[in-house]
Amino acid sequence: MSFYDVIEKYKNFDFDRYFEQVSDSDVLRSLSKYKLNDKDLLNLLSPTARKHLEEMAQKASKLALQYCGKTATLYTPIYIANYCENHCVYCGYNCHSGIKRKKLSLDEIEKEGEAVATKGFKHIIVLTGESETKSSIEYIGEAVGILSKKFPSIAIEVYPMDVEGYTHLVYKGADSLTIYQETYDEEVYKRVHIKGPKADYRFRLDAPERGAMAGMRSLSIGALLGLSDFRKDAFFSILHGAYLKTKYPHIELSYSAPRIRPFKGSFRDIVDVDDASEFQILTVMRLFDPHAALNVSSRESLDMRKNLMPLGVTKLSAAVSTDVGGHSQGEENTAQFKTNDDNSIEDVASMLKSIGYQYVFKDWVRF
C-alpha cells in the first residue's frame, strides 16, 4: 500500500458538500476528542469551525505546552543552485522565468557555509532547483559533505530521488528531507506542472517514503497553499504525515503550511488563503498530532509567526536569503521568491522573547 491508495479512497468524495453540512455540534464533538479520525479532521478544517477557532487554539496551545514547551529551533536555508528543468507556472525557478541562473562551486559552497556558521546556525537546509543535469546527486553529495563539517543537522530540499540517491546523501551527512507535494489534487497538479520531471505526480508523492527508507531522520512535508482548495490540501498533508509515522515510527515528522509568495512574473491564478485560514490549518495539525514538529518559514511575516507560536511551532527560519550564494556573495536576482524582510536573527529572537519563548540553534547531537 502507498499513500496514493489513501488518496484514491477519496476520489469520489464530495468535499464541498461535506463542508457545507458540518454543524457546530460536529465541530465541538471532534474538538472534544483526543485522537482524531479523518472525519474529525474535515470537521475542524471546515468553514464552520472558523467560529470555534479560539476554542480550538486554546486546546492546541495546551497540547503544545505539554509536548513542545516554549523553545524553537532556528535554521536557515543555503541555496547552492537554481537551474531547473521544470515548467511550473507558480515557481520563480521554472525554466521559462528568465531569472539569472547560478550554481556555486565547491569552494563557494564552503564560503557560504562559513558565512552562515558565523551567525551561530547549526541546522541548515540545502536547496537547488530541480535539475539533475546541472545539480547532480554527486554534486549535492559533495556540498553536503563540505557543509557537514560545520553543521550537525543538514536537510535537503531538492528534486525527488530514488532510494539509492537519498541513501548517498545520508552517507554524505544529510539527516533530513524536506519535500512538498505542492498540491495533492492530481488534476490541479497536472495543470500547474506543465512539463519536466516534476510533472510525475506519483514519483513526487512517494519521495518522503523513499527518504525514510534511505535512513533520513526527519521528514518535512506539506502543500503549497494557494494552488488548489487549501482545506483539501491541508487534509491530505495531515493524512500523509499519519501514513508516514505509522509506517516509519522512528522518523521525526514536520508539518509545514507555506503560502505562495510573489516572484517575477508571478502566477496569478491563486486561491486566496487568509491569515485566519493559515492559523486554522496549523491549529488542526497540532490537534491531530501533538508530537509533530511545526515549521513556519519567513514566507510569513514576523507578526504572523508570533501569533502562530502558541500552537507549538518548533522550527523557524531566520536570516534568510533565497539568492544563490546570498549569505556570502551578495548575489541578487537569483531568488525563487521574495521573503518577508523582518527575518533577522535579532528580529526573531526579540519576537520570541516578547512572548516568553526562547530559541536554540541545536537540539540534537550527531553520533
Residue 221 resides in a domain: yes
Count of domains in the chain? 1
Q: Which parts of the chain are beta strand (E)? A: 71-79, 87-88, 123-127, 153-157, 176-178, 193-195, 218-222, 252-256, 293-296, 315-317, 358-360
Residue 290 resides in a domain: yes
Residue 44 resides in a domain: no
Check which CATH number belongs to the domain holding 214 and give it.
3.20.20.70
* Per-residue model confidence as pLDDT tens digits over 134-143: 999 999 999 9
Say yes or no to pLDDT of 340 above 60: no
Residue 47 resides in a domain: no
Which DSSP letter does residue 225 get? B
* Mean pLDDT along residues 15-21: 98
Pairing mode, if any, of strands 218-222 and 123-127? unpaired
Domain that holds residue 281: 68-360
* Mean pLDDT along residues 298-325: 94
Three-state SS at 13: coil
Three-state SS at 252: strand
Confidence of residue 308 (pLDDT cuts 50, 70, 90): very high
> φ and ψ at 296, to 5 degrees?
-125, 120
* Per-residue model confidence as pLDDT tens digits over 182-229: 999 999 999 999 999 999 999 999 999 999 999 999 999 999 999 999
Residue 96 resides in a domain: yes
> What pLDDT score does 184 carry?
98
> What pLDDT score does 331 carry?
61
Residue 258 identity (one-letter amino acid)? P
Residue 315 resides in a domain: yes
Say yes or no to pLDDT of 293 above 80: yes
> What pLDDT score does 341 carry?
59
Say yes or no to pLDDT of 343 above 90: no
- Core vs surface per residue 215-254: b (16+ CB within 10 A) or e: bbbbbbbbbbbbbbbbbbbbbbbbbbbbbbbeebeebbbb
How far apart (Å, rounded) are the C-alpha atoms in residues 31 and 276?
18
> What pLDDT score does 329 carry?
76
Residue 126 resides in a domain: yes
How far apart (Å, rounded) are the C-alpha atoms in residues 246 and 249?
6
Say yes or no to pLDDT of 100 above 70: yes
Residue with the bigger pLDDT between 272 and 363: it is 272
Residue 51 resides in a domain: no
The chain-wide mean pLDDT, for the chain, equals 92
